[in-house]
Structure 1
Amino acid sequence: MVKPPPETPPLTVLYDGACPLCRREIALYQGLPSSTPLCFADVSDDGQPLPPGTTREALMARFHLRLADGRLVSGAEAFVALWATLPGWRWLARAARLPGVLWLMERAYRGFLRLRPRLQGWVSRWERAGAKP
């Protein structure tokens, strides 16, 4: 008897569902086809189990992706790994692999993280007012 090939473990997108910006971005990704199975885990949910050796606060502070081999990547590296699975977005992943681009993306992401609390406040106010940013 021939054994079926093992299933490819999904990539797991670990995101902050309490963040209105993150929810919008994740909703976009969830609506796209992927060449790799994807799971989405809202780490702001206290019932969501966390990868070993992590904290909820650390996972909510940056974008994280758990790869099929179990490794955890974050920031620009995580975005690039996700984009590589999404038809129509793969060109971004290829561009990020050019010399120096991932480094620049990570610096830009760190800059965004400093602005994130203020942006979250604005989007939250818009959502409460019934507007769409």
Structure 2
Amino acid sequence: MKTDKVIAYYDGLCPFCVHEMKVYERRGQGRVVLHDVNGDIPDDVDRKAALDALWVRKADGELVTGWDAFISIWERSPGFGWLAALTRPALIKWPLDKIYRFLAPYRPRRKCADGACQIES
């Protein structure tokens, strides 16, 4: 299990995403830091792309997205290391990443009321 921290840039308006990320945050014991992309984000994080698929900033500053982002989180969350190891090989990771990116836009999202969730480009 890796002990360095990662920052997970996730969609805080997706109830499924929030629930899943909170599990990783809790299990990661400080090694998985959550950052909702519907608020302020760093200049090098593309909001639309981060809403389309999970992004993670690794400890060395590298940004990874899609299935690689999940692997980075699972490596730091006790009980999920086996999932990272199982899905890391390219032969397995590639199709899983394609399926994830195809399905992610169809996830449920809460609606914003009265401009409370106004997102700037």
Superposition TM-score, scaled by structure 1 size: 0.71
Deviation at residue 51 of structure 1 after TM alignment: 2.8
The runs of 4+ residues in structure 1 deviating greater than 6 Å are none
**Do structure 1's residue 59 and structure 2's residue 53 form an aligned pair?**
no
Deviation at residue 99 of structure 1 after TM alignment: 4.4
Specify which of 7, 31, 34 is matched with residue 37 of structure 1: 31
8 Å contact from structure 2 (residues 24, 32) kept in 1: no
Q: Which amino acid aligns with 1:73?
A: V
Q: Give unmatched runs, 5+ long, in structure 1.
A: 1-7, 125-133
Q: Which residues in structure 2 correspond to 1:112-131 (within 5 Å)?
A: 112-116=103-107, 120=108
Instruction: Report which of the two structures shows the higher radius of gyration computed on alpha carbons.
Output: 1
Structure number with the bigger relative contact order (C-alpha 8 A, sep ≥ 6) is 2
Q: Give unmatched runs, 5+ long, in structure 2.
A: 111-121
Aligned equivalents of 1:102, 1:11: Cα separation in 2: 20
Counterpart residue number, 2:67: 76
Aligned equivalents of 2:99, 2:10: Cα separation in 1: 19
Overall identity of the aligned pairs, in %: 31
Counterpart residue number, 1:107: 98
Superposition TM-score, scaled by structure 2 size: 0.77
Deviation at residue 12 of structure 1 after TM alignment: 0.4
Specify which of 3, 8, 13 is matched with residue 18 of structure 1: 13
